Structure 1
Amino acid sequence: MKIALMQPYFFPYLGYYQLIQSVDEFVIFDQAQFIRRSWITRNRILNAHKETVYINVPVCKAPRETRIKDIRIDHEANWKEKMVQQLLYYKAAPNFRNVEKFVKEILSVKFDHIGELNTFLIKETCKLFDIKTEITVLSEKYPEIIEANEADEWGIKVANALNATTYINAIGGKEFYDQQKYADHNLDIQFVKPQLESYQQFNHPFVSGLSIIDVMMFNEIDTIKEMINVHELIK
């Protein structure tokens, strides 16, 4: 059994979905410490000045050690309206109406916590892409797993709880993980190396790694399914 453990990102980029696709169970890591100005509360899309701009979810102030699952969304701000306005840059994109409708439907559901919102939108997007991976939430499935001796040992704890044989992580963690620790626990550790294919973004020079929203604006769902399968697992 292959698993991955990852913080819940806000409308993440294509590589996030490649990681989900590569495992049997994807565990939302909501017990991790929240990091401000991270992909948990924002992502990038294009704007009319041919630059990237952030779409953001404002959150309430909380102590530094607060876990993701306890971070509350600041509903006093008009962030949903602002985000919908930001999407209007794409109004001439081939899939604008469908994507705008999809995003509005996501935003129409009120959540108190950022972890709940992101988990919901990740699951809904995976349904759209026909990704069959089981998606679970760490604090709900294993509420007793609340700490690890070292940051790279969370994966071992969760993998052991699930009786997994393989732990897969995003490529950014390759230098961070002590692979011998995983071998000592009879776990094979691998990393997803994304291959982000270029596509036409109006008359922009191609900007890679933007939010999945950008990918959806310019590509049909069947094409995105193919793009999600274009990745490599390395050790």
Structure 2
Amino acid sequence: MKIAIMQPYLFPYIGYFQLIAAVDVFVLYDDVHYIKKGWINRNRILLNGAEHTFTLPCLSVSQNKLIKDIEVDWSSREIGKVVATMETAYRKAPFFEEVIPLVKEVLMDQASTSIADVAATSIKQVCSYLNIKTTMKNSSTGGYGNAHLHRGERIVDIVLQEKGDRYLNAIGGLELYRKDHFAEHGIILSFLNPLPEVYPQPSPQFTPWLSIIDVLMYNDKETVSKLLTSYELL
């Protein structure tokens, strides 16, 4: 049983979805501290041939709060501007008509108050669009009862509770986790490293690792499914 655990990010890059598609159970780590200037409520798209960062405004943002306790500021005019920017950026993209309803549904669904819920919805909607069937759970509601444990110990405990024998982590965790520590608990630890792939963009120079929105706007589902397997395990 392969397990992965990641904070919920807003329309994350393709490597995030490679990780989801590579495992049996994916846990959205929503009861850990919010990270300022991270990817929880913002990401990057291509606007007029250049990289552009969009941000979903939130209330009382603090690194002392858990992700699940950060609320989206639905009263902000910035949300409308974000949606308008998406339309401007991708109106001429080949798959705009298929993808923009998905994006709007996430960015304009005021039924979700927490950024954790909005980010999770963005991830689940993309998974549905790409027919990724991985089981998803939230760490806050999964019944793990281990929020008191230190980072590495908690990860191990979640994997064991899910009956996992393999844990896949994003490549960014290479400096954080040790394979021998996981092996002591009968778990094989691997790091997923996305391989660079180039697809058509309306700019003279390809800009990699943008939000999955960019990938979906310029590629059909079959092509994106192939891109989901373009990685190496370290």
Please classify the TM superposition score into its range, dividing by the shorter chain length: over 0.9
Corresponding residue SS for 1:213: helix
Aligned to 1:80: 79
Aligned residues: 232
Q: 1:6 Cα deviation (Å)? A: 0.2
Indicate the larger mover: 6-15 or 87-96.
Answer: 87-96
Q: 1:154 Cα deviation (Å)? A: 2.5
Instruction: Tell me the amino acid that sits aligned with residue 161 of structure 1.
Output: Q
Indicate the larger mover: 116-125 or 101-110.
Answer: 101-110
Aligned to 2:147: 146
Aligned to 2:186: 186
**Stretches of structure 2 lacking an aligned partner (at least 5 in a row):** none
C-alpha deviations, 1:192-227, integer Å up to 9, x for none? 111131011113310000000101111011110111
Aligned to 1:135: 136
Corresponding residue SS for 1:105: helix
- Structure-2 separation of matches of 1:73 and 1:186: 40
1:124 aligns with 2:118: no
Aligned to 2:16: 16
4+ long deviations beyond 6 Å: none
Aligned Cα RMSD in Å? Answer: 1.4
Length-normalised TM-score, structure 1: 0.94
- Structure-1 separation of matches of 2:2 and 2:198: 29
- Structure-2 separation of matches of 1:81 and 1:54: 15
Corresponding residue SS for 1:174: helix
Q: Is the 8 A contact 2:57 2:79 kept in 1?
A: no
Instruction: Tell me the amino acid that sits aligned with residue 133 of structure 2.
Output: K
Identity of aligned residues (%): 35
C-alpha deviations, 1:85-119, integer Å up to 9, x for none? 11112211111222212211222322100001111
Q: Is the 8 A contact 1:99 1:217 kept in 2?
A: yes
Length-normalised TM-score, structure 2: 0.94
Instruction: Tell me the amino acid that sits aligned with residue 210 of structure 2.
Output: L
Corresponding residue SS for 2:167: strand
Q: Is the 8 A contact 2:9 2:39 kept in 1?
A: yes
Corresponding residue SS for 1:35: coil
Corresponding residue SS for 2:193: strand
Aligned to 2:99: 99
Q: Is the 8 A contact 2:174 2:191 kept in 1?
A: yes
Instruction: Tell me the amino acid that sits aligned with residue 67 of structure 2.
Output: I
Corresponding residue SS for 2:26: strand
Q: 1:80 Cα deviation (Å)? A: 2.5
Q: 1:25 Cα deviation (Å)? A: 0.2
- Structure-2 separation of matches of 1:167 and 1:209: 23
Q: Indicate how the Cα distance of structure 1 residues 217 and 204 shifts in structure 2: closer, same or farther if over 3 A, else same.
A: farther
- Structure-2 separation of matches of 1:228 and 1:153: 29
Instruction: Tell me the amino acid that sits aligned with residue 112 of structure 1.
Output: T
Aligned to 1:65: 64
Q: Is the 8 A contact 1:28 1:135 kept in 2?
A: yes
C-alpha deviations, 1:38-73, integer Å up to 9, x for none? 10010000112x321111111111443211111111
